[in-house]
Structure 1
């Protein structure tokens, strides 16, 4: 079953990429503007591989920041860290780090979102 689910997800991603790739320049500019994202960042998000797009939610979960809550409460912050993540060249290191469940994360050594995630963790702690 996991293979079928993975294939369906891959197919959805490819379909979205194909539709976005078919947009003319004006439509792409408008889509970027509507989402408050620079066009270059939107293109970076589009070309990002599906395997890499799951890294940020996994990292946030592992660090105790619920991506769903972040999307509801601070959508702009989530959008910004997703854009930074999409441009990151350290995806192999991140994937390797996240795959080691019993080892402390080393994301602070390479993740460009480290400081933002630290701030999110601090702001989500209950106050006494």
Structure 2
């Protein structure tokens, strides 16, 4: 998928995630944000299409805080790339929900055991959205 100029939010989010993923040896992500003014944090959050509170929570959670989400989507035969392409805001909101989830251990364990498809509804904050996506044949992974 090629990033277009008409997609500034996605580009900004990718830049921020890339920035954080590369890591900084001398400072933590929280320290980096702490060095910004409130106005700069607000502007960065606005560029990402989220609130400053959400941005701070995501930084605190870390750059891999939503890694389980695409794995869960694949476990449900949902194509994460297709969802991201067609439903960018839904995808982003799901990432935020996943990043702030308190059921990570259960999720990882069930994904590893291959039983997430049967159990995600019990603990996943994205369960309703995942069920809606799962019902859309255009978003499923082609066999």
TM-score by length of 1: 0.77
Superposed CA RMSD: 2.4
| Residues 1:12 and 2:11 aligned together | no
Q: What's the CA shift for 1:111?
A: 0.6
| Structure 2 equivalent of residue 67 of structure 1 | 80
Find the counterpart in structure 1 of residue 103 from structure 2: 90
Q: How far has the Cα of 1:50 moved from its partner?
A: 4.5
Q: Give runs of ≥4 in structure 1 deviating > 6 Å.
A: none
Aligned-partner Cα distance in 2 for 1:14–1:44: 18
The residue correspondences of 1:1-128 to structure 2 (distance < 5 A) are 12-15=21-24, 17=29, 19-101=32-114, 103=115, 105=117, 106-125=119-138
Against the structure 1 CA distance between its residues 59 and 27, is the aligned structure 2 distance closer, same or farther, given a 3 Å change threshold? same
More moved, 17-26 vs 34-43: 17-26
1:13–1:50 Cα contact (<8 Å) kept: no
Give unpaired runs (5+ residues) of structure 1: 1-8
Q: Which residue pairs with 1:3 in the alignment?
A: none
What CA deviation, in whole Å up to 9, does each residue of 1:72-125 have, x standing for no partner? 110000011111112211111111111113x35311101111011110111235
